Structure 1
């Protein structure tokens, strides 16, 4: 990925990682589905106001079938249904199990990409890297075997459905290849997500009367609405357009790291030695993925000697057909 994509990756990871800390604090004052719905209400108002001021009428209106598919996949699948299922599923499963189930996103995304996309495939190097990442996430959240295998199967099923929704939606957005900008697409998608979540909240019997409007509740709502509901999605969907569905899904391995560090720094949660091992394992996965860009011939001692060519014809042939960092394309 280029520097622009890396910047989007880092920002999205930081903003989404902070969501878990803010959500944990906010759920003391809000019921789950209504919390998600109000979050998207605020985010939709802010982002719609921004795009109305900064974009022309022609830039705001969807003009192709791809635009409509992209808006639906963004609002209904990636934002609305995914978040609703995440918050509901966490009522029946621990946070550790939820983190691991949602970290299946980078595993599921290549499956949908193989069926729906012709230009994104996962190589063996990429598969090894993603496997290391998943192991790292399991070490970071640190659940025991009884926690993973026991508990309520309904919760795990709901969380898995949310992961499927996020993965499928991301691939559908890439397949749509819509001319509409990602920011405008989010501005259209957020109201759709808000309507969907309000419908779920109403069906679940959640009402605003149960909300405790304290300063802490407003701070939590402000973060998940503005930072995680606007800035994070702008960065994520821009990353999706820049780097593709498979590479973008890798941020779901970094988010648990950010949320763990945030919980330690803000909420006083402990970081165990096994958590550090998880961080290093995730880093190893990214190192494997990025190692394709390292030419071992450049590390040859002979390249430092005078009169010796720095590259060989074989190396030039390899560099001409080198696959991009763990992925291959048609």
Structure 2
């Protein structure tokens, strides 16, 4: 495994674990914050932290956007990938559990290649990818259990969460389409204030008030987690992964997120995990395995193995060419 591959794997795991914890922290924090104001404050904290980090670690000349592509990438990050996505997540999660919210958001990897097919020329879904995505859809259906009772109970929340998943997928594709010369960290640092502003405006429009916040130790802990860990740190890992791996592969991380969210919700919030949800997890994992296997070029691996066998055969000394002086008497 190359250094770049190891870094991508670390970024994948860090993103999945921290994003998965978001659903648990959000569910806990919503007991103390109005949802849209919670998201806005989250971005306030993350923006300060990430802007400070970028200023300390990036040369000044590389901090300033210079092209329309840079500006488009910043707006795609702030408005779609971060702002609307999280606003819809926090509002929708008022109506459902951490695990179900994370599962609905796991539609992100399924939606991304559909959007990429229309907006990106260098990312396409193969037949194997279609099979993997189909398994993912089946897994989501098992977990969400879309029967009439399910739609009547929490159906509005699931629709809101689905719209958030669409926004996240669209944002990641638009970032790749925009290109630009800014690093992922700098682009995200610029995008966070736009996301914060958008959520503050949505909060005001929804009639939320800061007086409704209950400033308890649990509220501070939830805000610190979603702002610093699942905010600044996770965004550095995720958007860096997006630049190196592409929108389709980077968003496979959302298959890991529901597992983390379900386990965290069970361990910390006392939420239950149904038998259908477990079956859904296994089905989604099967889809993830199919999609992940696409990154392994079996023909190339076979040719490489065949080449090694050939090289070893060439290294074998032909008895007829054995050097004189080593013959047995």
TM range (shorter): 0.7 to 0.9
| Matched residue, 1:62 | 65
| Matched residue, 1:146 | 148
CA 159–295 in structure 1, closer or farther in 2 if over 3 Å, else same: closer
Q: CA RMSD in A?
A: 2.8
Matched, 1:25 2:28: yes
CA 180–161 in structure 1, closer or farther in 2 if over 3 Å, else same: same
Matched, 1:43 2:42: no
**Equivalent of residue 127 in structure 2, options 124, 129, 135:** 124
Deviates more, 1:144-153 or 1:155-164: 144-153
1:113-144 per-residue CA deviation (whole Å, 9 max, x = no partner) reads 111111100001011112222333444x4546
- How many Å separate the matches in 2 of 1:287 and 1:194? 36
1:204-283 to 2 correspondences below 5 Å = 204-283=206-285
- How many Å separate the matches in 2 of 1:298 and 1:189? 40
| Matched residue, 1:180 | 182
1:66-145 to 2 correspondences below 5 Å = 66-91=69-94, 98-139=101-142, 141=143, 143=145, 145=147
DSSP-derived class of the 2:224 partner? helix
CA 194–297 in structure 1, closer or farther in 2 if over 3 Å, else same: closer
Shift of 1:106: 1.7
Question: Given that residues 107 and 136 in structure 2 are in contact (C-alpha distance below 8 angstroms), is that contact kept between their aligned partners in structure 1?
Answer: no
Shift of 1:41: 0.6
Question: Given that residues 96 and 143 in structure 1 are in contact (C-alpha distance below 8 angstroms), is that contact kept between their aligned partners in structure 2?
Answer: no
Matched, 1:164 2:132: no
Q: Give 5+ residue unaligned stretches, structure 1.
A: 312-330
CA 197–92 in structure 1, closer or farther in 2 if over 3 Å, else same: same
Shift of 1:179: 1.0
- How many Å separate the matches in 1 of 2:130 and 2:297? 21
DSSP-derived class of the 1:206 partner? coil
Matched, 1:200 2:198: no
- How many Å separate the matches in 1 of 2:98 and 2:145? 9
Q: Give 5+ residue unaligned stretches, structure 2.
A: 311-329
Shift of 1:310: 4.6
CA 165–296 in structure 1, closer or farther in 2 if over 3 Å, else same: closer
1:302-317 to 2 correspondences below 5 Å = 310=309
DSSP-derived class of the 1:2 partner? helix
DSSP-derived class of the 1:232 partner? helix
CA 232–297 in structure 1, closer or farther in 2 if over 3 Å, else same: closer
DSSP-derived class of the 1:205 partner? coil
- How many Å separate the matches in 2 of 1:116 and 1:299? 32
Question: Given that residues 176 and 247 in structure 2 are in contact (C-alpha distance below 8 angstroms), is that contact kept between their aligned partners in structure 1?
Answer: yes
CA 2–117 in structure 1, closer or farther in 2 if over 3 Å, else same: same
Shift of 1:156: 4.5
| Matched residue, 1:316 | none
- How many Å separate the matches in 1 of 2:297 and 2:202? 52
- How many Å separate the matches in 2 of 1:245 and 1:299? 25
- How many Å separate the matches in 2 of 1:81 and 1:295? 37
Shift of 1:8: 1.2
- How many Å separate the matches in 2 of 1:296 and 1:244? 21
- How many Å separate the matches in 2 of 1:91 and 1:170? 25
CA 205–146 in structure 1, closer or farther in 2 if over 3 Å, else same: same
Question: Given that residues 13 and 258 in structure 1 are in contact (C-alpha distance below 8 angstroms), is that contact kept between their aligned partners in structure 2?
Answer: yes
Shift of 1:59: 1.1
Deviates more, 1:113-122 or 1:162-171: 162-171
Question: Given that residues 12 and 251 in structure 1 are in contact (C-alpha distance below 8 angstroms), is that contact kept between their aligned partners in structure 2?
Answer: yes
Higher gyration radius (CA): 2
